[in-house]
Amino acid sequence: MKPQPALKAVVVGAGPVGCLTAMSLVQLGWHVTLYERRPDLRSNSLHTNSEEHPRQHPRQRSINLTLSSRGIAAVQAINQGVVERLLHNAVPLQGRLVHFLNGNTQSQRYDRHGQCLHSIDRGLLNAILLDAAASTKNISIHFSHKVESVDFDRRTLHVRNTASSQEIDVDFDLCIGADGSHSVIRRFLMQTTQMEYSQHYLSHEYVEIRMPRGVDTSGQPTFLLDPDHLHVWPREEFTMVALPNKDKTFICALFAPKTVFDVLQSPGALSPFFKKFFPDLLLLLGEKHLERELQNNPRSHLITTKANPYHKGCVVILGDAAHSMVPFYGQGLNCALEDVRVLSILLRKEQERLSGAHELDHNSAAISRVLDRYSESRHNDLVAICDLAMENHLKLRHGVATWSYMIKGFIDNILYAISEKSAFMDYSTLTQIISSPKAPSAWIPLYTMVSFRPDIPYSVAKKKAERQERLIDRFGMGLGILGVGYFFWAVLQRSSM
């Protein structure tokens, strides 16, 4: 059934998830009001950091986002034009470039078919999604409006206009909390449901370091590092990454234990540290620049939060409000956008099921049923990707620079090449179905499943990869035993001569 025009959804937070959710609900026939506590970010940062308008001021809020197939499929399900605009303003990354301590580098491709991650400035991505939401009929956006509380029984939000201090109560049929890691909606859910909730702070923090663009031999602006790669300097206890922007700058981030940053703040400590661990960056950026960046840019913490369930009645949390993950898999944004796709499919199915029967607005039980299904079906996948993101921290700090990682990757890719049927998938099916009903039987590397196969749920990818890894380990062990056997056989042969 088509919902009545009176059906009202409120979305809290106009970040990427809030904007996409609003657009997806309008497609289903809802009227949406979006409340964002910050002023409109487009008024001072619109189109900054794009190719045409390089960024004037470094944003101090987050490392670049990496958009991969899951995020793209989720946006594509709602608005193909937005995908094109996002990709136009992003830099495609074919793989990671590992910088070894001895100065050597190694390119590790993300996918043997050249599928890419897309590096994009967070503010720019948000501005593009805001533009699209703001120009969509039946969405009204209120900036500088902070949601202070939610009443689950009366289905109302209490909202304060932070500019005028005026306070209002807003009623809703469906409320989506897309209000980020420190979600107010989650806080109220926790007070009224038996929500399982955990948060884990990493002992590592990170500081961003901006890498300006350089100038080539003909005087044109150029990237100081290869822009086709995400750069990684694995140094065991800590790691540096660098992601390119469309304006030819890079955003680097140093991830290190708090104690390392404390030491770096003492006078004269910075130069010897960079000389020892990142001499190439010291040469590129210079001591003064590094000192300025490390002293002026804030130290940010890294947190994983997990919750369950994600809803009560007609109120649900999506994106960072429901699950914050560490950035090392580059899936935080993709997973958050996928939340929107999953919820939208479940809502549409329920609306179709009710077609001609009840009206959804007289039937809050139907909305609540959809949200039950959402929490139930989504939880294992969210836990899986939060855990995978943590595991990738170890890989980026150390694993990617080891022989065992490289050999396993090599075998993984050979088996992938032998067994695969089709590398690319048609995202259009993902507007109707959440994922394929069955895990593919072909051998597929974990990285490909997570980043480039939105039809495979995260939890299925994780389990399948664990099985595959056990097989590679057994194969490796088998080879090892054969090798040792051959060695002893050769020794015996010699001594009997």
Ligand X SMILES: NC(=O)C1=CN([C@@H]2O[C@H](COP(=O)(O)OP(=O)(O)OC[C@H]3O[C@@H](n4cnc5c(N)ncnc54)[C@H](OP(=O)(O)O)[C@@H]3O)[C@@H](O)[C@H]2O)C=CC1
Ligand Y SMILES: Nc1ccccc1C(=O)C[C@H](N)C(=O)O
Structure tokens at 492: 């015996």
Count Cβ atoms below 10 Å from residue 448 Cβ, excluding itself: 23
CA 382/CA 324 separation, integer angstroms: 10
When binding is defined by CB under 6 A, the residue of 329, 416, 427, 452 that contacts ligand Y is 329
Q: Any contact of residue 16 with ligand Y (CB under 6 A)?
A: no
- Helix, strand, coil fractions of the chain, as percent rounded to 5: 45, 25, 35
CA 173/CA 160 separation, integer angstroms: 20
Q: Any contact of residue 37 with ligand Y (CB under 6 A)?
A: no
When binding is defined by CB under 6 A, the residue of 67, 125, 209, 241 that contacts ligand Y is 241
Q: Any contact of residue 330 with ligand Y (CB under 6 A)?
A: yes
Q: Which stretch binds ligand Y (CB under 6 A): 141-149, 244-252, 324-332, 364-372?
A: 324-332
CA 104/CA 99 separation, integer angstroms: 6
Give the shortest CB-334-to-ligand X separation in angstroms. 7
Give the shortest CB-191-to-ligand Y separation in angstroms. 33
Q: Which stretch binds ligand Y (CB under 6 A): 127-135, 174-182, 322-330, 338-346?
A: 322-330
Q: Any contact of residue 238 with ligand Y (CB under 6 A)?
A: no
C-beta of 329 vs 452, nearer to ligand Y: 329
C-beta of 3 vs 445, nearer to ligand Y: 445
Give the shortest CB-70-to-ligand X separation in angstroms. 11
C-beta of 120 vs 367, nearer to ligand Y: 120
When binding is defined by CB under 6 A, the residue of 3, 9, 13, 45 that contacts ligand X is 13
When binding is defined by CB under 6 A, the residue of 319, 440, 454, 457 that contacts ligand X is 319
The footprint of ligand X on residues 182-221 (CB under 6 A) is 182, 184
Cis peptide before 3 (omega within 30 of 0): no
Q: Any contact of residue 178 with ligand X (CB under 6 A)?
A: yes
User: Pick from ligand X, ligand Y, none: which does 38 bind, CB < 5 to 8 A by kind?
Assistant: ligand X
Q: Any contact of residue 234 with ligand Y (CB under 6 A)?
A: no
CA distances from 428 to 72, 283, 425, 431 (A): 11, 47, 9, 6
Q: Any contact of residue 96 with ligand Y (CB under 6 A)?
A: yes
What angle, 0 to 180 degrees and rounded to 10, lies between the N-to-C axes of helices 69-76 and 80-88? 140
When binding is defined by CB under 6 A, the residue of 35, 223, 310, 427 that contacts ligand X is 35
Q: Which stretch binds ligand X (CB under 6 A): 193-201, 331-339, 454-462, 486-494?
A: 331-339
CA 349/CA 355 separation, integer angstroms: 10
* DSSP 8-state code for residue 243: E
When binding is defined by CB under 6 A, the residue of 7, 10, 17, 254 that contacts ligand X is 17
Q: Which residue's CB comes closest to ligand Y?
A: 330
Residue 408: closest CA among 421, 395, 420: 395
CA distances from 123 to 128, 302, 472 (A): 9, 19, 41
When binding is defined by CB under 6 A, the residue of 38, 57, 275, 276 that contacts ligand X is 38
Q: Any contact of residue 227 with ligand X (CB under 6 A)?
A: no
CA 145/CA 220 separation, integer angstroms: 44
Structure tokens at 4: 């009545």
Q: Any contact of residue 65 with ligand X (CB under 6 A)?
A: yes
CA 303/CA 310 separation, integer angstroms: 18
Do residues 367 and 307 make contact, with C-beta atoms less than 8 angstroms apart?
A: no
Q: Any contact of residue 327 with ligand Y (CB under 6 A)?
A: yes
3-state secondary structure 188-232: HHHHHCCCEEEEEEEEEEEEEEEECCEECCCCCEECCCCCCEEEE
Q: Any contact of residue 320 with ligand X (CB under 6 A)?
A: yes
Determine phi and psi for 281, rounding to 5 degrees. -75, -35
Binding site for ligand X (CB under 6 A): 12-13, 15-18, 35-38, 62-63, 65, 146-147, 178-180, 182, 184, 319-321, 327, 332-333, 336
Binding site for ligand Y (CB under 6 A): 63, 66, 96, 230, 241, 327-330, 392
